[in-house]
Structure 1
């Protein structure tokens, strides 16, 4: 995805031709970038051959999940709906881990019936619920316990999951008590220690701290874990300043950890696989002038891309056709939703824009469509997968008639 001359291309196709044929807003994914991201992760961690379980919550498109599964990936799911979607997309149940703090009895029973790899439990109450269902079914269930390592990922507080004030996992004391409890259970088999410290991590140091905590807890537990699930959280370069997570460093930390703890590593990547594979093409409906800035009103809104409103996240925004003329005004890119938070970016020294110009919002592959909604009764956008000169519709544009 880049400019060739003055025009923006997605693989070998002009973005303006895509907009003309399929309309806007439109989510456009690059297959080549997806393949590149997957192979890059596999290459960097091939020394210990981890099981990669794609975080389905980051992107639930069935076609994309199927493509990802072809690289040997499993799935990390956090609901019964995601579990059903993953299996229907061709992901093997024995490569699926079920995470989340609020699994219902119905969801647990469904996961047991599908014989998934692991249910990663996050509380004593959940473990008792799993045991109760297992007893009724006269089965022994493989589970993991999610430890909260009280590790600050140094990222947005809204996506922090590994600090003691977060709702996820259990503290060390409770973890060790649960290990002892499960050892005496006839219906539970403790296979995994799980941890996940947050999302959009670009510094390797929090991962080192997490691994040190896990190492100490494993020694205290006196239990042989077949799996250690390190979660995901590996970030991408949203601001395009070439800041990237040092995967070589992270790999070296894990190799050192594995010399002491013989186990199979599980990763749950989502954003690092799918985040930068997609752009959102949108049209400028109006330009509303004011004293200090101009509002660039788009046909894409916070219902289509929720991250800026939810996290104050910033996504790079570029014009589909580059021009040399600069605007003297500040531009604020906003959507049509009746909320003040429906805005994407405020920027100075942007090129001069006109109504009906097309623009591209970058890096929307993760938590773009999966967080989208029908707020203001707006239909969800189309999703397209582009590979070289081919375009495949992988999710049709929702019709207004389906809503009303």
Structure 2
């Protein structure tokens, strides 16, 4: 399924021409497809069949309330890494009892709130964190459900910034430390063993690292059973890649079938993010100027690195297309650059496009780690977000104003002695 497609040489979002959306909501603009989000989530849901499971969407990929609401209505759980994300999920209609709390730096206040909300479990990342959760749970006279995040030391062969399963990464604990933490949890009056968690990285397009990590996790589970410590679930994390350029994503059905064959009756939890929303969103920006010199041709657009950071941060690729056929422009190899005062401010490089001033360019597969990574750098208001459902479209985040950027700031009072 592809909810963004060309019809009569015009880019559509579901049934709506993208040009209509730009006229209605302005530029730059994030556009999301409701049906694509639903379709992507259902690919995971269907792959499990009757096997016990819980899909916990990784909120960090795209945390817009409308996106979360679509998933909550499907019955999704959520993987959260802050109390802010948990409260977003609840505001969007999500169930805290279907939420797992990941992240390496949980504060006492965050742990307390999560326990009071009744989350499904904590994914514990360190010895010190387990001690803190136990202390907070004891102070509340509660039991804290625990899943230990194990670092399987598996190379996901992805960008180093989004690799999380190696010993050199900050996430999780070694197998031996995990074993000791499970023993401690099993003896605690205020901790309860729920499961085992691992996550080896993001944008992975090869199934073999996933299965290698799973085998290592199952070896630990076997050791736990020898100690008469039994788990309710195994959480296999997320990380399934999407197509930005010419990548071939793995088959969700084949992947989950392989997992089910290995884990027996154990409940499976999975934390997809990018694979749910990545191809369900685009970022559209307007060409303000065309600038050519002896070496380079630049399409200077109104969108910038503060709006879509991935190209500057990761050197990542997004397909760039004009939203309408334009045979009257200048055909060249363009660097698509923004107005931020940084050489790193680019959205795409060396793209063969026919352009003229005033054209709109869509950066495809921008639904994940797009708006959530945006900022107000250079005092730029963050852009609007729109969701399309068939022929209906709705603003799901208002465009910020310059006044909103400094409403929480104060000028020092000029006091005299």
Answering whether residue 19 of structure 2 is matched by residue 16 of structure 1, we say yes
Match of 1:353 in 2: 355
- Secondary structure of 2:152 counterpart: coil
Change (3 A) 1:353 1:48: same
Q: Alpha-carbon deviations, 1:180-230, whole Å to 9, x = none?
A: 111211110011100001001111111110111011111112221101111
**Structure 2: how far apart are the matches of 1:361 and 1:164?**
35
**Structure 2: how far apart are the matches of 1:7 and 1:384?**
18
Answering whether residue 131 of structure 2 is matched by residue 125 of structure 1, we say no
**Structure 1: how far apart are the matches of 2:393 and 2:138?**
50
Match of 1:308 in 2: 311
- Structure 1 residue 332: Cα displacement: 0.4
Match of 1:282 in 2: 285
Match of 2:379 in 1: 377
**Structure 2: how far apart are the matches of 1:293 and 1:164?**
42
Match of 2:237 in 1: 231
- Secondary structure of 1:144 counterpart: strand
Match of 1:273 in 2: 276
Match of 1:91 in 2: 94
**Structure 2: how far apart are the matches of 1:167 and 1:49?**
30
Structure 1 residue corresponding to 2:106, chosen from 103, 107, 119: 103
- Structure 1 residue 323: Cα displacement: 3.5
- Secondary structure of 1:70 counterpart: helix
Unaligned runs of 5+ in 2: 407-417
TM-score, scaled relative to structure 2: 0.93
Aligned pair count reads: 400
**Structure 2: how far apart are the matches of 1:302 and 1:156?**
19
- Secondary structure of 2:155 counterpart: coil
Range that drifts further, 221-230 or 207-216: 221-230
Q: Alpha-carbon deviations, 1:93-130, whole Å to 9, x = none?
A: 11000000000111011111111100111000000001
- Structure 1 residue 26: Cα displacement: 0.7
Unaligned runs of 5+ in 1: none
Match of 1:163 in 2: 166
Does the 8 A contact of 1:292 with 1:330 survive in 2? Answer: no
Answering whether residue 264 of structure 2 is matched by residue 251 of structure 1, we say no
**Structure 1: how far apart are the matches of 2:298 and 2:19?**
22
Q: Alpha-carbon deviations, 1:158-184, whole Å to 9, x = none?
A: 100011110000001101111111121
- Secondary structure of 2:55 counterpart: strand
Match of 1:363 in 2: 365
Range that drifts further, 306-315 or 328-337: 328-337
Match of 1:3 in 2: 6
Does the 8 A contact of 1:140 with 1:187 survive in 2? Answer: yes
Does the 8 A contact of 2:205 with 2:247 survive in 1? Answer: no
- Structure 1 residue 353: Cα displacement: 0.7
- Secondary structure of 1:373 counterpart: coil
- Secondary structure of 1:16 counterpart: helix
Query: Superposition pairs for residues 126-165 of structure 1, below 5 Å?
Result: 126-165=129-168
**Structure 2: how far apart are the matches of 1:83 and 1:352?**
44
- Secondary structure of 2:353 counterpart: coil
Match of 1:28 in 2: 31
Does the 8 A contact of 2:322 with 2:362 survive in 1? Answer: yes
Range that drifts further, 302-311 or 318-327: 318-327
- Secondary structure of 1:193 counterpart: strand
Match of 1:403 in 2: 405
- Secondary structure of 1:351 counterpart: strand
Q: Alpha-carbon deviations, 1:238-286, whole Å to 9, x = none?
A: 11x3612122331232122222xx3211111111111111111110011
Report the aligned-residue RMSD. 1.4
- Structure 1 residue 45: Cα displacement: 2.4
- Secondary structure of 2:139 counterpart: helix
Structure 1 residue corresponding to 2:45, chosen from 34, 42, 45: 42
Does the 8 A contact of 2:57 with 2:77 survive in 1? Answer: yes
Range that drifts further, 30-39 or 267-276: 30-39
Match of 2:60 in 1: 57
- Structure 1 residue 19: Cα displacement: 0.9
Change (3 A) 1:358 1:70: same
